[in-house]
Structure 1
Amino acid sequence: MELFTQQKVQRYEEFVEPDLQRAIDEQDKVFEQQKIFADLRRNIENLEKNSVTSLRTLVNLASEVYLQAEVPNTQHIFVDVGLEFHVEFTWSEALNYIQKREETIAKQIDEYNQSIASIKAQIKLVLEGIRELLQLPAEKSLPERNF
């Protein structure tokens, strides 16, 4: 009977696991966006703090091929606002935009956390239902799966 139970549990996990993995993957993408905007905010704040008006930098052209570039005026920057569109902002406009995007990203992360918790709760509920249907004694705890 134990083998039968394990097979049932494994089939259910295989059924639900793609949803859970998809939610975790999407959450990871949002975390990456959060990091990008936090880095951009820090860079702009450093430019303001140090009163940088021009700079030399390396630009990644593609496939890790870099070109040295000189930026004669750093007062305006271009920010990727999505779908490969870039908008020219002053530093203060960019910081305002970044703040709004960070708030939106934080909400998205909360939504993914709730979704992931819900899927995990469904898994536990069904596992408990299987245990009851098969009239098995309550297990101490199942090892938590890390995705």
Structure 2
Amino acid sequence: MEDSARQEKVRKYEEFVDKRLKPDLIHAISQRFFEQQQIFSDLRRNLKPREDSVTSIRTLVNLGSEYTCSRSVPDTQRIFVDIGFGFHVEFTWSEALNYIEKREEKIARQIEEYTRLIASIKAQIKLVCP
């Protein structure tokens, strides 16, 4: 009887690991913000050397449905930055660089937070399933 109770507990722990901890781990890993971090890093790297020296640029404009067209931007005093959820904000170059820096800091904090969460979930899995 004691052995069957122990086996039932083991089964429940394994079920908990499979149904709760493993999906939590997968979700935590998928929530990492490395892609966003790379996008803002690339944007900062592209804006920084051009901050004062560019007066006009040529760019590709997304028309939707994977269609783009090449356009000339005659006045580069202000640029639009995608801030998420389909919203774009008009910034000066220095404002854009400041915004990007703050977003990179926030993303770095989020990555650290999720890394700790992942480590915690892994520790719980090891505790339950030696």
Name the aligned partner's letter for residue 78 of structure 2.
H
Q: Which residue of 2 aligns with 1:34?
A: 37
Match of 1:70, SS state, is strand
**Partner residue of 1:112?**
114
How many residues align? The count is 120
Which residue is 1:25 aligned to? 30
TM-score for the superposition, normalised by structure 2: 0.82
In structure 1, the residue matched to 2:78 is: 76
* Aligned partner (choices 49, 56, 59) of residue 57 of structure 1: 59
State the AA in 1 paired with 2:24.
D
For 1:10 and 1:48, how far apart are their aligned partners in 2?
A: 56
Identity, in percent, stands at 61
Q: Does 2:18 correspond to 1:14?
A: yes
Structure 1 match to 2:98: 96
Deviating more after overlay: 111-120 vs 95-104: 95-104
Displacement, 1:13? 3.7
Unaligned runs of 5+ in 1: 129-147
Q: Which runs of 4+ in 1 moved over 6 A?
A: none
Greater relative CO (CA pairs within 8 A, separation 6+): 2
CA distance in 2, matches of 1:17, 1:102: 29
Normalised to the residue count of structure 1, the TM-score between the two structures is: 0.73
Unpaired runs of at least 5, structure 2: 1-6
